[in-house]
Structure 1
């Protein structure tokens, strides 16, 4: 529980959040930054982790980038190939917005492509 007596925020599928991506190595995205959550709240609450892909402010034309549409509170590009499980409470996850279904579907498709899932 928080000081206000409310339960802490638990991320849900499609949430755009701010959280700490460090520690990081090499070319991985790090530090506090936006991320797109790809796992449902039922999983995230059970295990205390969420699978999230970082969002970068600049696109580079990379094949696994997914642009966020205008009108959201977070601007930039989801890096589909840099997602990882993150302990959301310990990394101070904070809700910002919800991504459109088309963005979520595009990110999932890019992950499936680079993992050769289908």
Structure 2
């Protein structure tokens, strides 16, 4: 496992504490969005936390029934984290359509 680093589309468990105000906190799954080369070289990754309490907000993407965890990706809470310091553990991969939908909403959010 020492050679492992997260890759795009991989769901990882992370410790998001500490956080501020309305940011997602605690140990929870997150979807890896950034390039695997960046993740391995820097020890950081851009991830979006996953909630088990989907609310149907415009910037949520529901996970597919066959994804390794249940819930919704919170696109507007995407952030860069030190995945080693936050004790990342792999949980599996999301459906390709899920990753595509998350990237589309993130692109729109950022005006790209």
The TM-score, its normalising length taken from structure 1, stands at 0.90
Q: Flag structure 1 segments of 5+ consecutive residues without an equivalent.
A: 1-5
How large is the RMSD of aligned CA atoms in angstroms? 1.1
Deviations 1:15-35 (A, max 9, x none): 001011111111110111000
Corresponding residue SS for 1:108: helix
Q: CA deviation at 1:8?
A: 4.4
Cα distance in 1, alignment partners of residues 91 and 3 from structure 2: 15
Cα distance in 1, alignment partners of residues 81 and 64 from structure 2: 25
The TM-score, its normalising length taken from structure 2, stands at 0.95
Q: Flag structure 2 segments of 5+ consecutive residues without an equivalent.
A: none
Greater Rg, structure 1 or structure 2? 1
Match of residue 108 from structure 2: 113
The reply to whether residue 103 of structure 1 matches residue 98 of structure 2 is: yes
Deviations 1:51-109 (A, max 9, x none): 00000001111000000011222100000010101101111100001011111111111
